[in-house]
Amino acid sequence: MTSNYPRETVEFLFVTVKVGGVEVLTDVTLCVVASGTRPTEFVAPATLNGKIGVLITGLAPAYYAVWAKVTSDPEIPVIDCGSFRVS
């Protein structure tokens, strides 16, 4: 996911999270951070039409990365889901 969004946009960005090649829709939290930084605070994903993602709104122009954390006992994988740009 490398897309460009004007800073005035309010848009749902679908995020596909796969563990072992299988798409995961439950037990997932997401984090949006400035590109090049590590994820810190994960939150529940937004949902739309049975898919998960983040709502892009109010972000300053910059590059951002989306991270996912899947809670799956005993593992808790953290996955880099890609990036997007706000212009």
- For 16, the token pair is 């596909």
- Identify the domain containing residue 50 by its residue range: 2-86
pTM of the model as a whole: 0.90
- For 72, the token pair is 């799956």
pLDDT tens for each residue of 40-75: 999 999 999 999 999 999 999 999 999 999 998 888
**Given this model, what pLDDT does residue 2 score?**
65
pLDDT class for 38, splitting at 50, 70, 90?
very high
What does the alpha-carbon distance between residue 30 and residue 11 come to, in Å, rounded to a whole number? Answer: 16
**Given this model, what pLDDT does residue 36 score?**
94
pLDDT tens for each residue of 5-35: 999 999 999 999 999 899 999 999 999 999 9
Q: Please state the domain count of the chain.
A: 1
Whether the bond into 6 is cis, omega within 30 of 0: no
